[in-house]
Amino acid sequence: MGPSHFSLLLILAGCWEALGAEHYSNSPVCNTTLSNGSFPWTHYRLPTSVVPEHYYIYIHPDLNTKTVTGYVQILIEALNDTSYIVLNGKNLTITGAFLKELSPNYQRKRLALHVLESVPTEQLAFISEIPLVAGRKYQLSVRFCATLSNSFSGVYRASYWTKNGISRMIAATHFEPTSARKAFPCFDEPNMKAVFSVVIVRDYNRKAISNMPKVSTRTRGDGLLEDHFCHSVRMSSYLVAFVVNDFSSNSTKSKTGTEVSIFAPRDQINQTRYALQAAVKILEFFEEYFQIPYPLPKIDLVAIPDFEAGAMENWGLITYRETSLLYDPHTSSPHSKLWVTLVTAHELAHQAKFENPYKSICSTLQKSYIV
């Protein structure tokens, strides 16, 4: 398959408009809310007084209880003096929120925060009794829980049937354009980019994949496993992704050493050969044509049984509708083969990084930021 067979398909970035808020609902999120408090922010867009630098996300999508529990620690910098931090959250129950300054000689313990929610604007406000000071960095720690979604956004359940008639369930994510806030509290606007470090809790009979390669797996006291992943490149929150699954996979490497893998239900893994071959050729073509190296050590392409879009260009973990990735040479039509090729070319075209090359692939989040 030569370069002339490929078309570069790009999506124009959507424009974010600043909208004025007319009415707010100041419903409390948890017991630490301010009594008689009013939501401190009056715009749909987030304030820029505080910006994120690095997220540490610990999350457990429990397919047995159909719940999501976890916590997120966000390294933030205050650009202006402020007594509150506003970020996005939707359909989350906040069970604890704390703030800690990260100045070298600062000995103050974690400060419990008051929490308010604005339901119409999908925002959470964390109120501090001690104001944040411009130029200083802080660690915002938030514990949360939610219900595993039945929709096709946020962290949701997807199911399929084996050839033996057994129902299987996986947990998948789809965060574009504004659904990362359904999975964990975050600054869910595309210009507020940050680095993401992800830890996923799972059962022993499933596996987890995310944007970056897995560093290690640890066994918890309750028998569940924790998969720790390399930290990501700096990216928007809607590109974070993970899938907890029992799939099989096929893998190979490109000329430049990038590991390319296709994940699909075990009974359909024989339908991934064409997509794997096409993905490697397309990736190599883009790197040569644009003279831009693919910045990550791996790229996974995953066939999701229940998926609303054709595919989604999560960095390092592209999720697909099954008909956009699977091809059976004995039963599929030529049009299906062309469609798999075009969708794969389209999604891989999103993967280029126009900043400095990614370095220190598996560096971990600075220990001083994790408590």
Separation CA 221–CA 242 (nearest Å): 23
- Count CB neighbours of 131 within 10 A: 11
Q: List C-alpha distances in Å: 187 to 87, 133, 237.
A: 5, 19, 7
**Which residue carries 């790009």 as its tokens?**
10
> Is 173:240 a contact under the CB 8 Å cutoff?
yes
CA 182 to chain CA centroid, nearest Å: 11
Separation CA 9–CA 138 (nearest Å): 40
Strand order in the sheet with 259-264: 248-253, 259-264, 298-304, 317-321, 311-312
The span from the first CA to the last CA of the chain, in angstroms, equals: 51
Q: Please list, residue by residue across 156-186, b when 16 or more beta carbons sit within 10 angstroms of its beta carbon and e when fewer do.
A: bbbebeeeeeeebbbbbbbbbebbbbbbbbb
Report residue 155 as tokens.
């962290």
Separation CA 299–CA 307 (nearest Å): 19
Can you say whether the dihedral through the CA atoms of 199, 203, 204, 210 is positive or negative? Answer: negative
Has 347 been annotated as catalytic? yes
Q: What share of the chain is helix, strand, coil (3-state, %, to 5)?
A: 15, 40, 45
Given 122, 189, 287, 347, the catalytic residue = 347
Report residue 200 as tokens.
């996923």
Cβ neighbours of residue 87 closer than 8 Å, sequence gap 6 or more:
46, 123, 124, 126, 185, 186, 187, 188
For residues 211, 153, 238, 219, the Cα torsion angle rounded to the nearest 10 degrees is -40
Active-site positions read 347
